[in-house]
Structure 1
Amino acid sequence: MSVDAPEKNEYPRASRGLVFASIVTYVGSIFLLMSFCSPYWIESYDESFSSFKKMGLWEYCFKDFYYPNYQFPKKFNGCHNIFSYEYYMIREYLLPGWLLFVQICITLAFILTFGTLGLLALVLVRWPLKLVLQYEWLMTKISHIALAVASSLIFLGILIFWFNAYRRDWMMYPKFNIISWSFGLGVVAMALLGAASALLYREALRAYGNRHQAKNLVMQMEMQEPSFHPSRSLSRSLHSGGYI
């Protein structure tokens, strides 16, 4: 007696927990993107009339700023990328080693987060179907690990930035500056991605427990295909497993 193989439209959908974890990851990635791109990690008080206006990970904004250690009286105005030609002469001052390390941490977290979004999208839409059904536990586990690492890197980056933001050897007159909302978005992104990682860990355990059923389902789907020609060893495994 044979067991009817499932139709392709009868495959198990993504669980609610996985969908919720993906939504949390998506929201966290939006906060991370805004923090990554916006130039408001530090800004000066409006009433201070400081020549320094604001900065982000990749951009500085000045108004009539003179760098005292630069031998020529060059005035810096406007907002420019930290790696632009405008800041070439003072880049060493604008980009100390600790800030470069923060950039590396946040950039790696950015890559891991958006790479995980792509992987989760494949799991959610079940494409490619057989691969996702058979290795959902592994794909979910990879997503969990990637987001855990990303959240840890963001935490390390914002912690280092917090402790160095008011150094006098970096930004002049630090008492006129304040950590701004881009930094706060990074903190929110860290929390959301950490929560998503915990949710995905639970989903990975669930998928790992169901891996044998998923593998059997894939085998039954392959048996339904017209081009399927079971080998002698596969036929013995199907008989022993009770599929035929």
Structure 2
Amino acid sequence: MTAADNEYPKASNATLIGASITYVAGLFLLLSFAGPYWIESYPEMFSSFKHMGLWEYCFDRFRFPTYPYRLFHGCHYIFSEEFYVIREWLLPGWLTAVQSFVTLALILSLTAQVLLACVIMRWPLRAALRYEWIFVSCSFAMVTLSSVFLFLSVAIFGGNCYRRDWLLYPSFNVLSWSYAFAVVAFILFGAAAILLYFESRKLYELRLEAKNLVAQMHHSQPEHALQHLREQLQQQRHGWN
């Protein structure tokens, strides 16, 4: 690859920082999504309920009041046959909403990470340079929605997890690390969204300036307009680096 092949604007520092924060937040979100420790019981309480995540419950010889002759033991997927008879109790409507919000946040964040990777790597080159402001703007919107969905998730879960019509003896339980990771992810996504918002505005303004310069070429000397365009691109390149 020659030096001329590299003569194109690199991604700005704001984009790099915003993308890095998005990737870190995405990791926290993935661990929270898959982790079975949104809430757990205190070890010293010897509760029959051990811990649960969005998709898994763990019990130790648990007897549900409606089915006193059946023991629920071990960790099982929430939609498994093991929990068929008590699934309505395990999966109230508010928990289904939490699952939906976290799933949507994960899908949106992964899509935003792909778009940001294309912007940073400049691949494909022509599309990345021509539609950079669109890629960054779409990433901003997706990261913002991810933050909002996660905020709703942690708020709904935190406000309902100690209800007495859900897990028995709620005072024996405490929020755990999977829930904390969701809180961290929501904060990081919010910070990344702020950076991407300002960067998308900057890129849009630069795009308008470039359009105006091209329009001026039709009403002024071509050599002068081309020189002015080169100077603007050079300043833009230095500003991003």
TM-score (norm 2): 0.86
Q: How many residues align?
A: 222
- In the other structure, the counterpart of 1:88 is 84
Distance in 1 separating the partners of 2:210 and 2:14: 18
Q: Tell me, yes or no, if structure 1 residue 34 matches structure 2 residue 31.
A: yes
Distance in 2 separating the partners of 1:86 and 1:126: 49
Distance in 2 separating the partners of 1:127 and 1:188: 30
Distance in 1 separating the partners of 2:69 and 2:168: 17
- In the other structure, the counterpart of 1:128 is 124
Distance in 2 separating the partners of 1:127 and 1:212: 23
Identify the match of residue 57 of structure 1 among 40, 54, 79: 54
Distance in 1 separating the partners of 2:86 and 2:210: 59
Distance in 2 separating the partners of 1:202 and 1:7: 30
Identify the match of residue 184 of structure 2 among 188, 211, 217: 188
**What SS class does the counterpart of residue 133 from structure 1 fall into?**
helix
Distance in 2 separating the partners of 1:33 and 1:131: 29
Q: Tell me, yes or no, if structure 1 residue 145 matches structure 2 residue 145.
A: no
Unaligned runs of at least 5 residues, structure 1: 1-5, 220-235
Q: Tell me, yes or no, if structure 1 residue 204 matches structure 2 residue 200.
A: yes
- Superposed displacement of residue 135, structure 1: 1.1
**What SS class does the counterpart of residue 51 from structure 2 fall into?**
strand
Q: Which amino acid aligns with 1:136?
A: E
Identify the match of residue 68 of structure 1 among 40, 65, 68: 65
**What SS class does the counterpart of residue 69 from structure 2 fall into?**
coil
- Superposed displacement of residue 132, structure 1: 1.2
Following TM superposition, the consecutive aligned residue runs of length 4 or more in structure 1 with deviations greater than 3 angstroms are 212-216, 239-244
Aligned CA distance change for structure 1 residues 50 and 132 (closer, same or farther; 3 Å)? same
Matched-pair identity in %: 50
Unaligned runs of at least 5 residues, structure 2: 228-241
- Superposed CA RMSD in Å reads 2.5
Aligned CA distance change for structure 1 residues 194 and 159 (closer, same or farther; 3 Å)? same
Distance in 2 separating the partners of 1:205 and 1:20: 16
Aligned CA distance change for structure 1 residues 214 and 26 (closer, same or farther; 3 Å)? farther
Q: 1:26-55: per-residue Cα shift (whole Å, max 9, x none)?
A: 110111111111111110011111100000
Distance in 2 separating the partners of 1:26 and 1:92: 35
- Superposed displacement of residue 7, structure 1: 3.7
Counterparts of 1:139-178 in structure 2, within 5 Å, are: 139-178=135-174
Distance in 2 separating the partners of 1:8 and 1:201: 30
Does the 8 Å contact 1:134/1:211 carry over to 2? Answer: no
**What SS class does the counterpart of residue 171 from structure 1 fall into?**
coil
Does the 8 Å contact 1:24/1:192 carry over to 2? Answer: yes
TM-score (norm 1): 0.84
Identify the match of residue 105 of structure 1 among 96, 101, 108: 101
Moved more, 202-211 or 46-55: 202-211
